[in-house]
Amino acid sequence: MQALISASQRDSLPIECPGWSLMPSRDALQKIFIFKNFKDAFSCMSEIAIIAEEINHHPEWFNVWNRLEVTLSTHDSGGLTGKDIELAKAIDLICGKLNR
């Protein structure tokens, strides 16, 4: 089980994970990505799935046409861990590359 992030790590989230928001209802990060079309959104999801499998940490997500909503939390730890920050950064790189 992963340790929950510290208070100082939580304070640095806006810098480390720009555009990601802490959810008010639970200990999780969330971000919405908008793409040109469904194909680009799905391509992003496919690339995220490969990384998620490699690091054995899987996002919650919701997709409608060009919109992808991603939520990250480490369920077995009961909140945010370093794995969530790692995956958020990877997702930003993937989505940034596909969303130009």
pTM score, whole prediction: 0.93
For residue 25, being part of any structural domain is answered with yes
Residue among 45, 53, 59, 61 nearest 98 (CA): 45
Residuewise pLDDT in 10s, the chain (100 residues): 899 999 999 999 999 999 999 999 999 999 999 999 999 999 999 999 999 999 999 999 999 999 999 999 999 999 999 999 999 999 999 988 766 5
Residue among 64, 70, 56, 68 nearest 98 (CA): 68
For residue 73, being part of any structural domain is answered with yes
Which residue segment(s) compose the domain that 70 sits in?
15-98
For residue 37, being part of any structural domain is answered with yes
**CATH code of 52's domain:** 3.30.1360.20
- Cα–Cα distance between 13 and 81 in angstroms, integer? 12
Number of domains forming the structure of the chain: 1
